[in-house]
Amino acid sequence: MPQKTLRFKIHQDGRVEETVEGFTGNSCNEATKDLEDALGKVTVKNKTSDAFISNQNEKLKQLNKESNVTF
Amino acid sequence: MSHFSTIKTQLKEAEPLIKALNNLGYKIDQEEKFVKGYQGKFTAVDISMHLPGDTEVGFKYDKNSSSYELVADLDLWKFEIPVERFISKVTQMYAYQTIISKTKEDGYQIVEQKNKNDGSIELVLTKWDN
């Protein structure tokens, strides 16, 4: 059973960035439609694949490792 | 499939707006339904309150934009933060309240909440599928 994750960054001016992860097919759109309608106007919407996100995470981890400087 | 969205928050509903105002520590006047607005004209509002520094403000529902708009006499604005900053703060808290209540209804739990240095609030919520 996959875990569904919602991430939000609520900016000082009230702008909300939302990332929705762990849904299959188009169900991610339905999952947050009510919330998006309640908040206001969606100005940007991009579909991402989970594979892409986890690849990015791996890359970031690698970068963090490489840039870890100890004094 | 996942998605990434950016949403411009609008003050669409009274309930989260009142919650946001209370959360920010502003006390709502139940009685007063008229507030001095543009050019000192008394304007009927849906929500009214006094800000510290004796600044009276209200929120009025605007049918065209389907959202609440601030009513205040800017010549009499004495509150410690500028009006633009005040609206931003209220809008940010409104977004926070809306997200918290809607996701709770859907069975999500907060696993992380951070106030960032840039003034933003970061929230992570999860739910196990069943």
pLDDT tens-place values along chain B, 130 residues long:
688 999 999 999 999 999 999 999 998 987 778 998 888 889 999 999 989 888 889 999 999 999 999 999 988 888 999 999 999 999 999 999 999 999 999 999 999 999 999 999 999 999 987 6
Of A14, A27, A50, the CB nearest to B94: A14
Q: Who contacts B8 (Cβ-Cβ below 8 Å, separation ≥6)?
A: A14, A15, A40, A41, A43
Chain B neighbors of A41, CB-CB under 8 A: 7-8, 10
Residue of B nearest to A22 (CA): B2
Q: Who contacts B52 (Cβ-Cβ below 8 Å, separation ≥6)?
A: B79, B80
Chain B neighbors of A38, CB-CB under 8 A: 12-13, 16, 98, 102
Mutation target to probe the B interface, by most B beta carbons within 10 A, among A5, A7, A8, A32 is: A8
Chain B neighbors of A51, CB-CB under 8 A: none
ipTM: 0.89
Contact B6 A34 (CB under 8 A): no
* Phi, psi dihedral angles at B4 (to 5 degrees): -125, 125
